Structure 1
């Protein structure tokens, strides 16, 4: 029951979906609930895949893709997309750690954030449209893989890096704690299990893409910030998600 409660806490924190009333929220529980972020990805992916499949029965693939993307944004409240935009603004406009963190905390979006968000959404749309060009299954499978696996990339940062902000006023501060090996193992299980939906080449492409984004994120955040922030986690998730779609498409070139 404790693990189920932690899952519902993660679901409530990282999405806008309702959870049972008996779930008790506490700052220390939020930190422990991070292990279930990839499992939350299962839920988000299932909703996005269901919306796509239903829409594709009556509408063109590209329109069904847009509706699917809109559904996942609505379910998460654009939580991770906001992190991506803030990280683009911070890393693009700041030269010192203090300035980067200051920019990332600003609720307004700047040029780097706006351009980054447009390119991110365009990349998702084009990749998913190509994945669903001939059959529904490749796109649905890609969604079911990318959402959990990309969230594992974000969780991995929490097991290696420290929280970069000295204050605890950030909305992500309660989640900021080092994951234990057991917690990372559980998150890894939920993150990689959906790879069974892909063929070996596609799975390898998805893993390589995820590893590349994770390593890049680790190096960049460690060098620029000395750690991570909640925005950094969201940015890593979004970048990894798009990279996974690209990795699966690249794998098709070798079949």
Structure 2
């Protein structure tokens, strides 16, 4: 019973962190929630969000709506469900990295709730790529589902391998992620990819997600010396863009 209670608490923590969906009913023991231990649920939440978006895209397209417009509504649903959490992180990261002169100034800009030109451009390009690539994917439900799962797994991977850039905030609460939780977090989207894609394509997708996360992590280390919650959000969006683009290539004319 203790094992089950902890898993329910993990799921509540993961849903509560990554979405605006009510999750308190899953666990009544708020004190038993642990963000680090909950990382195994992050790709599950991402897979679910992606699947919902993919089903909306497919459903709207099946009744005659243009695929690009259907994809826009699908992404809009995902943003509604997450409260724009990752998009906000992407915009703040772009503003900080692009507008700050030094590490301290970059971190200060990233905490500013206002959006600047770099953030607006990054946000616009992120939305454009996601909508266009999802619309072009031959199997949008699969593409959006895997993109969501791999994006959240990439967040956990960076959290486990990078030090926080500041002593407060989300990233500072995550060091010390249990190895079993991290292993499950990475294996879940891999298993999902192998289930719905040919082996080569699945490994290619996971490799692309890992590469995108590594590059974003290296950029964050160069810019601000570590990880922040905003960088995690930017990583989720960046990986989603890469995976959706990769899985849309099959739709390109020969």
Q: Name the TM-score, length of structure 1 as normaliser.
A: 0.89
Measure, in 2, the Cα distance between the counterparts of 1:61 and 1:76.
23
Name the counterpart of 2:29. Answer: 24
Measured after TM superposition, the shift of residue 46 of structure 1 is: 2.3
Measure, in 2, the Cα distance between the counterparts of 1:105 and 1:67.
29
Name the counterpart of 2:244. Answer: 245
8 Å CA contact retained: 1:8, 1:19: yes
Do residues 9 (structure 1) and 8 (structure 2) align? no
Measure, in 2, the Cα distance between the counterparts of 1:182 and 1:236.
22
Measured after TM superposition, the shift of residue 173 of structure 1 is: 5.3
Name the counterpart of 2:161. Answer: 160
Measure, in 2, the Cα distance between the counterparts of 1:67 and 1:218.
30
Given the alignment, which residue of 177, 189, 192 partners 2:190? 192
Measure, in 2, the Cα distance between the counterparts of 1:51 and 1:175.
35
Measured after TM superposition, the shift of residue 153 of structure 1 is: 1.0
Deviation digits for residues 198-253 of structure 1, max 9, x if unmatched?
22343243223212211102211222222100000000010000001122234667
1:203-242, aligned counterparts within 5 Å? 203-242=202-241
What are the ranges of 5 or more consecutive residues in structure 2 without an aligned counterpart? Answer: none
Summarize the Cα distance change of 1:27–1:173 in structure 2 as closer, same or farther, 3 Å threshold: farther
Summarize the Cα distance change of 1:199–1:254 in structure 2 as closer, same or farther, 3 Å threshold: farther
8 Å CA contact retained: 2:96, 2:106: yes
Measure, in 2, the Cα distance between the counterparts of 1:119 and 1:160.
28
8 Å CA contact retained: 2:9, 2:30: no
Measure, in 2, the Cα distance between the counterparts of 1:16 and 1:4.
17
Name the counterpart of 1:183. Answer: 181
Q: Secondary structure at the match of 1:155?
A: helix
Measured after TM superposition, the shift of residue 154 of structure 1 is: 1.1
What are the ranges of 5 or more consecutive residues in structure 1 without an aligned counterpart? Answer: 133-137
Summarize the Cα distance change of 1:247–1:178 in structure 2 as closer, same or farther, 3 Å threshold: farther
Q: Name the TM-score, length of structure 2 as normaliser.
A: 0.89
How many equivalent residue pairs?
247
Measured after TM superposition, the shift of residue 139 of structure 1 is: 0.9
Q: Secondary structure at the match of 1:127?
A: helix
- Higher mean Cα deviation, 74-83 or 37-46? 37-46
Summarize the Cα distance change of 1:184–1:18 in structure 2 as closer, same or farther, 3 Å threshold: same
Measure, in 1, the Cα distance between the counterparts of 2:141 and 2:118.
31
Summarize the Cα distance change of 1:217–1:91 in structure 2 as closer, same or farther, 3 Å threshold: same
Summarize the Cα distance change of 1:178–1:100 in structure 2 as closer, same or farther, 3 Å threshold: farther
